[in-house]
Amino acid sequence: MDNSPTALTPRFQEALVFATQLHARQLRKGSAVPYIAHLLSVTGLVLEAGGDEDEAIAALLHDAVEDQGGLDTLADIRCCFGDRVAAIVEGCSDAYTIPKPPWQQRKEKYIAHLREASPEVRRVSLADKLHNARSILRDLHKDCAATWDKFNGGKDGTLWYYRTLVQIFSEVENDF
Residues labelled catalytic: 66-67
DSSP H/E element including 82: none
Query: 165 near 111, Cβ under 8 Å?
Result: yes
CB atoms within 10 A of CB 115: 10
Residues in the chain: 176
Angle at 41 between CA 85 and CA 149, to 5 degrees: 105
Instruction: Please provide the distance, in angstroms rounded to a whole number, between the alpha carbons at the two ends of the chain.
Output: 12
Helix (H, G, I), strand (E, B) or coil at 98: coil
Residue type, 102: P
Determine phi and psi for 34, rounding to 5 degrees. Answer: -55, 140
